[in-house]
Structure 1
Amino acid sequence: MKIIKSLYVFGILMIAGLFSSCLSELNQYPTVETTSTKVYSTVDGYKSVLAKLYASLAIAGQEKGDGDTDLGGKTSSGYLRILFNLQEIPTDEVVYTWPGGDALTNIQNMSWNSTDEWVSAMYYRIYYTVALCNEFLRNATDEKISKFTDSEIADLKIYRAEARFLRALVYSHAIDLFGNVPFVSEEDPVGAFFPPQYSRTQMFDYVESELKDIEEILPLPLQNEYGRVSRAAAWFLLAKLYLNAEVYTGTARYTDCLTYCNKLTSAGYTLEGTYKNLFNADNNLRTNEIIYPIALDGQHTTTWGGTTYLVSGAIVGSMVATDYGVQSGWGSFRTLKEFVGQFADPTGTTDKRASFYTDGQTLDVDDVTDETQGYAIVKYTNKTSTGANGSNLADGLADTDYPMMRLADVYLMYAEAVLRGGSGGTKSQAKSYVNLLRERAYGNESGNIEESDLTLKFILAERARELYWECTRRTDLIRFGEFTGSSYIWQWKGGVKDGTSVNDKYNIYPIPAADLAANPNLKQNTDY
C-alpha cells in the first residue's frame, strides 16, 4: 500500500478541544466509537492520528469521495485542490472553464476580496491542519509519553517531529499566501481563545526555528516510511523559505538557501530518468527524486480533489478520458499561449516536458468558457509507467501521488540563489545542475546551456518548463516581480482578454472577513 496504514482510523478525532470542557469535568467519556484517552494509550494509536495529519493534505472527509467532510463549503474540495486553484489559476499556466459556476471568477481575474469562497477555503484548511497538529502535540509531551518503553518513546519523538513539520509546512503556505496571520500552537489554551496576529517576519522566524529544531530528530534522508517526511523535507522547506525570504521579510537569505540546497544535493537523491514517470500512477516508485509527496491512492484516498482533479480536470475537448486512466474528463482547465511560449518547440519533440494536447484546440483563448480554446496539458495521468490503469478505474480515482518536493526544484533553487548573489555555490555548478534537467528533457545534450545563458530571466522560464502545475508559479512570479503590475502581461490577466496591469495588493490574499469579525486581534492585510 502506498499510503500509511490506518489512514482514516481516527479521522473523527483530534480537532482541538473535541473532548474538553464539561465532559472532562463530569469524568465521563462521550459515546463515540473511541476516545482520545484510548487512542493515545498505544504507539499504534499515535501513529494512526499522525496518519490523519498527513491525510489532511490529501482528503477532505472521512468517507469515499470526501464524504462526511471535515469542514464545509469550498473546503470540502480538499487541501491540494484549493492550493492548486490559488497558486495556478491566477497565472499564465491555467485558464478555468467555468469560473462563474465554480466561484472562481475572482481568482482567475485577480480581483478577489475578503469574502471570496476559495480564499477562505485555503485559510481554513490551513488552520484545520494546524489544529490537528496542535492537538496531537498536546498529547505527545515528554510527560504524556513517559509511560512507554525507551524504544517506543524514540518512535514517538519522531512522530512528534513529523507533526511539527506538517504544521510548519502549512504555516509556510500561510506566510506565502496571506502574509500576516493568526498564530496558535499547542501551548495555547483550548476553547475560547483569540490568537494573536503575527507579522510575516514573525511567522517566518517561527517556521524557521521549528524546522531547525526538528531537522536532527527526523530520520535521515530516504530512511522513513514512504509518504512520511525525513530531514530532507525539512531542508527543502528551509531552502524554499530562504529563497523567498526577501519577499516575506525584506531580508535576502540566498546564502542560507544554498546551505540547505547543498545538504539536499549530498543526501543521496538522483533525478528520475523519465520526466513523465514523476506524475503517473506508479510515481510512488520515484523516491530517488521525490523528496516528499502527498500520498494518494484510488482505493484509500478516495477524493475528487488531489491528483484526480489534476488528471480529470485537464481532460478537455476531444481527449479520451480512458487514455489517461480515468472514466471521465471534466473539461476544467487548459493553458494560455504565454505559457506555451516558454517552450521553443511546444510539440514536445525536442523538450519532452512540453506535454500539450492540441488536436481541436486553439492557441488563443477568446472565450474562457470554451474548453476547446487554449492548449490542454497532459502532465498528470492515472496510467502507470508500463501503461496499466490505476487501481480504481471503475470510480475514476487516481493513484498518482502529488510530488510536493523533488530534487529538480532543488537544482533550480540552487541556480537562482547563486545568480542572486548567495555564497556557497558556483555558477559552474548551477549550469551543471540545470543541464542535468535539460538532458533529461531533451534526451541528449542538444538543449544544454552555457554559463552566459544562465540569467534570472532564464531561470524563471526554466522553472515554468520544469515545475508547471506543481503549485509554484504564483510564488515564482511574485519573487521575480511579474505577478502583479505590468512587467509581464498574459491573456486574461486581470480579467481582460489581452491582459492588463494588476494592483500589487494581489501579491497576497486577504484575511477572510468572517475571521476578522470573530477575532478582535486581527487586522486586514494592506489595501484590502
Structure 2
Amino acid sequence: MKKIFKIEKIATLFLVIVMAMSSCTKDLDITPKDDQDLLGEDFFTKETAYKELLGGVYGNLSLTGVDGPGSSFIDGLDAGTSQFGRVLLYLQTLSADQMIWSYENDPGTREIQRNIWNANDPIILGMFGRSHVTIAFANNFLRETTDAKLAERNVSDAIKAEITTYRAEARLLRAMSYYYMMDLFGQANFTTEEDPINTPPKAYDRAQLFDFIESELKAIEADLPDPLLNEHGRASKGVSWMILAKIYLNAEVYIGQDKYTECIDYCKKIIAGGYTLATQYSHNFMADNDVNSAKNEIIFPLISDGTFTQNFGPTTVMVNGSVGSLEVNGAALGVGAGGWGGALRLRKQFVELFEASIYNNDTRNGIISGGRSKEITDISNKDQGYILEKFSNAKSTGGFGVDQTFVDTDFPLFRLADVYLMYAEAHLRGGAGATVANVEGYINALRTRANNPQNNLTISDINLSFIIDERARELHWEAHRRQDLIRFGRFTGGNYNWAWKGNGTNGIALSADLKLYPIPSASLKSNPELKQNPGY
C-alpha cells in the first residue's frame, strides 16, 4: 500500500462529503446543504476528523464516485468522462499532436482528437464540472475550519496548528482548480468560503482568475510545508511555486503581459527546494514512483492505487491503452496481456521528433514501430501507427502493481524536469535572473539522464524551436502539450499541422477561437454571468 496520508480512508471520506452535498442535475453544481448540519457534529469529535476531511478534497483528484471506479456522483457524467486526470490528459494531449485514441465511439473522444468539439462535449463538461467540485469541497473545508467553529468544538491548540496547514492546502487545491479553468476555459464560476451557501456564483475572466491565483498562492506560502516534507500526495510550497511559475510562463497568453522574470524567480525557488532528477527517466512512470528515485523529482502526483483508489484515471488509461493490437505487450507493462487492444497510438509528428540517430538509445524514446506504418489514415484501424511504452504498472525493483487493470502508478502532474525546461525557455524569452551556465546545465542534465550522446549543448544550440521539441521529448503524454503549442503559436492557424488536426488526415488550420474550450451549455444555463467563448 502506498505510504500516503490515510489513502485507505479517502474513499470513505469521499462518501461522507458527497452525502453532505447535493448535486443539481442540470448544472453539476455541488452545493453544501445546511451549513450547521454539514457532515454532522459527531464527525468532528474525532481528532482525525479535519485531516480526513482534507483527504476528501484531495480524493476528488483521483476518484469519481463512491461505489467503485465506474461510479460518478456527478449527475449525467460517467467515470470515464469526469475523472480529473483523465479529462485533463484528453484536453491537453489528445487534442494535440502526440496521441490518437482508437475507440471513437467513446463519448467525446472523436471530437477532442479531431478538434471539432462543441459546448455539449461530455469530456469538456467533465473537466468543467470536476474542477468546480474541487473548489466546492475546498470551500466546504474552509467553512468547517473557521476560528469560530474550532472554538465551538473546543479543538486543541495542537490540532489548530495542524489545521492551519490543512487550510493552506485546501486553498492551494482551489487555486490549482482555478488555474486549470483559466488555462482551458478562460472563465470560471467563482466562489470562496466567504460567499454565503447557495449564493449564485460570480463569473471571473482570465485577468480576475490570474490575480486571484497569484495573490492566493503568495498568501498561503508561509503556512505550507517546505518542499519534500509533506506526506506523499499532499501539497507543499513546491506545488505552490510550480503553479506560479506556470502562470508566469503563460502570462502573455492569459493576460497579455510578459512575466518571464517572475517565472525564473519561481523556478529558482523550486530548484533550490531540494528536488532532484530521478536516476532513471522510467522511474517517474512506474508503479513505485512514490518510493523509487522519482520521489524527489515528482513535485505533485495524482494518486493511483490498485487497491484503495481504483479509477479510470490517466495512468490506468495510458498503461492499458499502450498495449498494441499486434504486440499484445501488456504482460511487460503489468496489466492483462491484451490490455485495451490498441486503444492508444502515436501521431507521426511526435514520432519524427525521435527519428534522428542520436535518439536511438535515448531512454525517453519508448516508441515501438515493429511492422507498423507511421501513417494513420484510418483512426479505427488499430494496426496503423506506432505505439508507445512510457507508463507502466511495473516496479523498479521487479514485480508489478497489485491489480492487473487498475495500476499503482501515480500521474506526475508536476515534476522537476519541467522546471528545468521552463527556466531555459523563460530565459530565452527575455526573462532576467537566469544564467547561461544554468540553462546549459539543466538541459544537458536531462540529456545525460536520458542517455543521449548529445549532452554537451551550449546556449547557441538551445533556442525556442529546440525547447518546444525537447519539451515534447521529455514531457509527452503528461498533459502539457496543448498549453505549450498555444504559447509557441503553433496550436491554431496553419503554420504547424499534425495528423488529423482539424479533422484533416494531414491536418488543416484551426480557428484562433479554439485556443479556448467552450463553456458547457449546461453551465451557461445555470449561471447567466458566464458568457460563451467566441466561436461557439
1:439 alignment partner in structure 2: 448
1:281–1:384 CA contact under 8 A, matched in 2: yes
Q: For residues 358 and 121 of structure 1, what CA distance do their matches in structure 2 show? A: 34
2:79–2:312 CA contact under 8 A, matched in 1: no
What SS does structure 2 have at the residue aligned with 1:124? helix
Matched, 1:300 2:311: no
Paired residues for 1:365-514 under 5 Å? 365-393=376-404, 396-442=405-451, 446-514=454-522
What SS does structure 2 have at the residue aligned with 1:447? coil
Matched, 1:249 2:255: yes
1:355 alignment partner in structure 2: 366
Q: For residues 23 and 506 of structure 1, what CA distance do their matches in structure 2 show? A: 37
Q: For residues 61 and 263 of structure 2, what CA distance do their matches in structure 1 show? A: 25
What SS does structure 1 have at the residue aligned with 2:299? strand
Q: For residues 214 and 21 of structure 1, what CA distance do their matches in structure 2 show? A: 25
Q: For residues 218 and 320 of structure 1, what CA distance do their matches in structure 2 show? A: 43
Matched, 1:136 2:141: yes
1:75–1:121 CA contact under 8 A, matched in 2: no
Q: For residues 210 and 316 of structure 1, what CA distance do their matches in structure 2 show? A: 45
Structure 1 range deviating more: 95-104 or 241-250:
95-104
Matched, 1:18 2:24: no
Paired residues for 1:200-211 under 5 Å? 200-211=206-217
2:533 alignment partner in structure 1: 525
Matched, 1:337 2:339: no
How far 1:347 moved relative to its partner? 9.5
Deviations 1:444-499 (A, max 9, x none): x5433111011011000010000000000000000000001011111111111011
What SS does structure 2 have at the residue aligned with 1:67? coil
How far 1:514 moved relative to its partner? 1.2
2:107–2:122 CA contact under 8 A, matched in 1: no
Indicate how the Cα distance of structure 1 residues 450 and 132 shifts in structure 2: closer, same or farther if over 3 A, else same.
same
Matched pairs, number? 518
Q: For residues 40 and 431 of structure 2, what CA distance do their matches in structure 1 show? A: 48
Q: For residues 47 and 374 of structure 1, what CA distance do their matches in structure 2 show? A: 47
Deviations 1:130-186 (A, max 9, x none): 111111111011222232222211101101111111111111100000002221111
How far 1:76 moved relative to its partner? 4.9
2:166 alignment partner in structure 1: 159
1:75–1:122 CA contact under 8 A, matched in 2: no
How far 1:50 moved relative to its partner? 0.9
1:51 alignment partner in structure 2: 55
1:358–1:376 CA contact under 8 A, matched in 2: yes
Indicate how the Cα distance of structure 1 residues 12 and 290 shifts in structure 2: closer, same or farther if over 3 A, else same.
same
1:177 alignment partner in structure 2: 184
Q: In angstroms, what is the RMSD of aligned CA positions?
A: 2.1
2:27 alignment partner in structure 1: none
Indicate how the Cα distance of structure 1 residues 254 and 68 shifts in structure 2: closer, same or farther if over 3 A, else same.
closer
1:277–1:283 CA contact under 8 A, matched in 2: yes
The amino acid of 2:197's aligned partner reads V
Indicate how the Cα distance of structure 1 residues 68 and 336 shifts in structure 2: closer, same or farther if over 3 A, else same.
closer
Gaps of 5+ in 1: none
1:219–1:231 CA contact under 8 A, matched in 2: yes
Q: For residues 414 and 347 of structure 1, what CA distance do their matches in structure 2 show? A: 24
| TM-score, normalised relative to structure 1 | 0.94
1:16–1:135 CA contact under 8 A, matched in 2: no
Partner residue of 1:60 out of 59, 64, 80? 64
The amino acid of 1:180's aligned partner reads Q
- Identity over the aligned pairs, expressed in percent? 41
1:265 alignment partner in structure 2: 271
Deviations 1:285-330 (A, max 9, x none): 2221111111211011111224111110221222321221012411
Partner residue of 1:188 out of 187, 195, 199? 195
2:502–2:508 CA contact under 8 A, matched in 1: yes
Gaps of 5+ in 2: 23-29
What SS does structure 2 have at the residue aligned with 1:417? helix
Indicate how the Cα distance of structure 1 residues 157 and 362 shifts in structure 2: closer, same or farther if over 3 A, else same.
same
Q: For residues 482 and 22 of structure 1, what CA distance do their matches in structure 2 show? A: 42
How far 1:104 moved relative to its partner? 1.5
How far 1:84 moved relative to its partner? 0.7
The amino acid of 1:126's aligned partner reads S
The amino acid of 2:113's aligned partner reads Q
Indicate how the Cα distance of structure 1 residues 370 and 407 shifts in structure 2: closer, same or farther if over 3 A, else same.
same
Matched, 1:39 2:46: no
